[in-house]
Homo-oligomer: A and B are copies of this chain.
Amino acid sequence: MSSPRKVSDSTVRRLSSYLRILRELSSGGTETVSSDRLAELGGLTSAQVRKDLSQFGNFGVRGRGYDVSALAEELTRILGLDREWRTVVVGAGRLGSALTAYPDFSVQGFRILALFDSDPSKHGRRFGEATVLPLEELEEFVRERKVEVAILTTPAAAAQAAADRLVAAGIHGILNFAPTTLDVPDTVHVRVVNLAIELEGLSYAIREDGSRGTGSSGGGPDEE
C-alpha cells in the first residue's frame, strides 16, 4: 500500500490545508462541499483539489461534492493525526516555551512530554504537563519514553550537537527552528521552520512593489 501513496511535499501541505478547511466547515454545520468551494477556500483551482484527493480514494459524491466529515476523517488518518506523537522540545527559551503552549500542537496529537535545556536556572519549570529537564537527560528520556518527534529551538551553534544526540537516541522526526541546516541520516525526517526566510520573502515582495510603483529608481517604499 505504500507505493501509490508516494506523494509530493506540496501535496501533503495542501492536504493539511484541506483538513483545516473541512474542520472549519464541519464546525459550522456544513455536511457536503464541492471541489469548487474547497478550491476557493484554499486559494487553489478545483482541478488541483480533485487531483489531490483522487490520489487517496474516491471521496466525491456525484452532484453533491465531498462528504465533509468522511473526508476530514480520512485526511486525519492519512496525515497521521489519528494518534498521539510523543514529542520533546529541545531548547526552553522563549520560543521553545511559546511552542509548548501553542494549542495546535496538542490538538494535532503532538504531546509535549518534556523540554530540555542546558541552563540549570530553567530546570524544573513547568509548562502544562511538561517540565524543563537537564540536557544531559535527553538521550535516556527519548529512549525510555519512546519519543518520536523533537522540536528543536536551540541557538544555531548548539543545533547539530542536539540533533546528533536525538538521532543516536532513536528520534524519528525533527521540527527545526534553529537557523541552521542539520545533517541527519535519511531515516530521520526534518522539517524546517525558518522565520527569517518568511520575513525575507515578505520584504522582497514589498520592495518589488516599491520598484514597480516608483518606476525606474528602484528605491523602494522608503522614498514615499
Contact = CB atoms under 8 A, between A and B. Distances in A.
Tally of this chain's copies: 2
Contact of A204 (B12, B98, B203): B12
B43 A200 contact: no
A199 B98 contact: no
A49 to B, nearest CB: 15
A95 interface: yes
Nearest to A13: B197
A66 interface: no
B83 A17 contact: no
Interface string A179-207: 11100000101010111111111111111
A216 B175 contact: no
Given A148-B221, A195-B193, A79 B209 contact: no
Given A12-B201, A187-B209, A20 B179 contact: yes
Interface of A: 1-2, 5-6, 9, 12-13, 15-17, 19-21, 24, 41-43, 78-81, 83, 85, 94-95, 97-99, 101-102, 104-105, 107-110, 146, 148-149, 172-175, 179-181, 187, 189, 191, 193-209, 211-212, 216, 218, 220-222, 224
